[in-house]
Each structure stands twice: as C-alpha cells, then as structure tokens.
A and B are shown apart, each in its own frame.
Chain A
Amino acid sequence: KAGVTQTPRYLIKTRGQQVTLSCSPISGHRSVSWYQQTPGQGLQFLFEYFSETQRNKGNFPGRFSGRQFSNSRSEMNVSTLELGDSALYLCASSFGIRDGDTQYFGPGTRLTVL
C-alpha cells in the first residue's frame, strides 16, 4: 500500500510570501498531523485533522493554518512567511481512533525562506 506523500519536496520563498503544502495520507487513514522540525526546536506539533475537523492544535501563531478534504488529503498554509519558518515540514497519517496511534510519516517538505 502506498505511503504518505508530500508535495512539493523542496520550496524556496521570500519573506512576506505565503505557501501551501500538501499531504496525501495512507489509504484508510483519517487522521493527518503536521509537524515542524528545526535544528533548534526539534519536532514540534502544529495541528491534527480528523475527518475534516481540526481535532488538536499545537502552539503556533495563526499564520499557520490547515484543512482536510473529504478524501483525507490535507493542506497546510503559512502566510506572511518569516525567516524563522525555514524548516522541514512533516506530515503524518494514522487511523486516529485510539491513544497514541502509530504515525506514518511522509518524506517532508523542506521550506527555505529567504
């Protein structure tokens, strides 16, 4: 069965621009989570969507938003990009029906903000 896919894999933007990242989960998974990974802060949880609803949210500003479609695919948007938003953005999918379900990660999108 196909794994989690993320597009694009690499992205270069300038400050002030906005960006949309896409994630396709494993077939049958209804939960999609987004993480930001940087050398300084490690792996930080952004938000989780389950059946098109945001179910959990991390501690990030409102510039970071997301949505999930009826086919469980998810998009993440970052508006008014800042230099500090440069990071590896990881998406993970799971069944999302019990505590601590195994997360299956995509390869990530490397975002560079200049």
Chain B
Amino acid sequence: SQQGEEDPQALSIQEGENATMNCSYKTSINNLQWYRQNSGRGLVHLILIRSNEREKHSGRLRVTLDTSKKSSSLLITASRAADTASYFCATASGGSYIPTFGRGTSLIVHP
C-alpha cells in the first residue's frame, strides 16, 4: 500500500497561475520528497524536506510540511506550460532506505 496520497488527482490551470498540490501520509516520517514526471519518462527529484523542517523553497517551488496533520503541500508559483507533468510525493519512515510514492497529481498548465 502507498504511504503518501496526493490531492487533487488532477489539476488544470492557466499559465501564470499558482498550482498547489497536497500530500497526506499515515505514519511518522523522516523526510518527504517531491518528484516530477513528464509524460512517460523517469521521475525528477524536486525537493526534500526533513521532518524537523516546516518550509523549504527552491526557485518557484515552495514546500511545507505539517507533521501534526501528517501532510505536505507543494506550491508552484507563476506556472508555465513546461510545468505540465505529474507530481509525486514520496515519504521515508524509520529504517527504510526506500521512499514510498503516492499516486501523483497530474498538472496541466494551459498556455
């Protein structure tokens, strides 16, 4: 079974708008990562946030982590058509070298 569950499953926005995706998980984690996958290709690592961190930024990406609610959000600001992809959260719990992936959010950014 998958640890992280992304919400919404699909998101369609216009270029320039912000996109927010959420990830909820069930058990305590050591860290949470976000990945992007362009259609039919490999996943690309975007950002890692550790359980003792609350917010991280990377360019137009902002990730928050609320361990009390067991949730994380990924915000993409000023979206571009090139941001069209699926976004996955992956959680790592104690003793696991392998992160567990959710089902992903499919983001479409219309030019």
Q: Which A residues form the contact surface with B (CB < 8 A)?
A: 4, 31, 33, 35, 42-43, 45, 48, 50, 55-56, 88, 90, 92, 94, 96-108, 110
Verify if B14 is at the interface (C-beta below 8 Å from A). Answer: no
Once the chains are docked, how many angstroms separate the CA of A56 from the CA of B33?
A: 20
Q: Which B residues form the contact surface with A (CB < 8 A)?
A: 2, 29-31, 33, 35, 40-45, 48, 88, 90-104
Distance of B74 from chain A, by nearest CB (Å): 16
Distance of A73 from chain B, by nearest CB (Å): 17
CB nearest neighbor in B for A47:
B98
A103-B43 contact given A42-B101, A42-B103, A43-B88, CB 8 Å threshold: yes
Given A4, A42, A100, which contacts B30 in the complex, CB threshold below 8 Å? A100
Once the chains are docked, how many angstroms separate the CA of A105 from the CA of B46?
A: 12
30 contacts between A and B (CB under 8 A): A42-B2, A42-B101, A42-B103, A43-B88, A43-B101, A45-B98, A45-B101, A48-B98, A55-B97, A56-B98, A88-B40, A90-B43, A92-B43, A96-B97, A99-B30, A99-B31, A99-B93, A99-B94, A99-B97, A100-B29, A100-B33, A100-B91, A100-B96, A100-B97, A102-B33, A103-B35, A103-B90, A105-B44, A108-B42, A110-B40
Contacts of B42 in A (CB 8 A): 4, 90, 92, 105-108
Distance of B89 from chain A, by nearest CB (Å): 11
Once the chains are docked, how many angstroms separate the CA of A4 from the CA of B99?
A: 18
Does B43 lie within 8 Å of A105, measured CB to CB?
A: yes
Does B97 lie within 8 Å of A31, measured CB to CB?
A: yes
Once the chains are docked, how many angstroms separate the CA of A30 from the CA of B98?
A: 13
Once the chains are docked, how many angstroms separate the CA of A53 from the CA of B103?
A: 28
Once the chains are docked, how many angstroms separate the CA of A97 from the CA of B92?
A: 13
Given A33, A100, A104, A108, which contacts B41 in the complex, CB threshold below 8 Å? A108
Contacts of B33 in A (CB 8 A): 100, 102
Does B45 lie within 8 Å of A103, measured CB to CB?
A: yes
